[in-house]
Amino acid sequence: MPDPEHARPGLWVELSDTAVDAIAAAVAQRLEARLDELTGRDSPWMSTVEAIAYTRIPEGTFRKLAAEGRIPSHGGRRRLFQGQG
């Protein structure tokens, strides 16, 4: 936490972890919606759920293979998988 004597008015806001998580979730939803607008349905990128349906691999097996790196993916918490173009 900054020293109150050196903090500039209007530039410091303390947020709880819950508030930060809520803001992050809202930003992620907006980014996802914008990405959907930009890429349309022709995007080669799939969410985990879409990739499981696309490959028809059982969910547990798919997630295990992805965690082992045997199914390549990109991203962090929200993984994206690339389909055949």
Instruction: Fill in the DSSP letter of residue 81.
Output: E
- Model confidence at 56: pLDDT above 90: yes
pLDDT of residue 30: 84
Q: How many domains does the chain have?
A: 1
Q: Assign 1 a pLDDT band (cuts: 50, 70, 90).
A: low
In a domain? residue 4 = no
Task: Specify if 22 maps to a domain.
Answer: yes
* Residue-wise pLDDT tens digits, 58-79: 999 999 999 999 999 888 778 8
Residue 45 lies in a domain: yes
For the stretch 24-45, pLDDT in tens is 888 888 887 777 777 665 677 8
pLDDT (0 to 100) of residue 63: 92
Calpha distance 38→49 (Å, rounded)? 20
32 in a domain, yes or no? Answer: yes
14: left (phi over 0), alpha (psi -120 to 50) or beta: beta
What token pair was written down for 2?
A: 């900054």
Residue 59 pLDDT: 94
Write the burial class of residue 79 (CB in 10 Å: 0-12 exposed, 13-18 middle, 19+ buried): middle
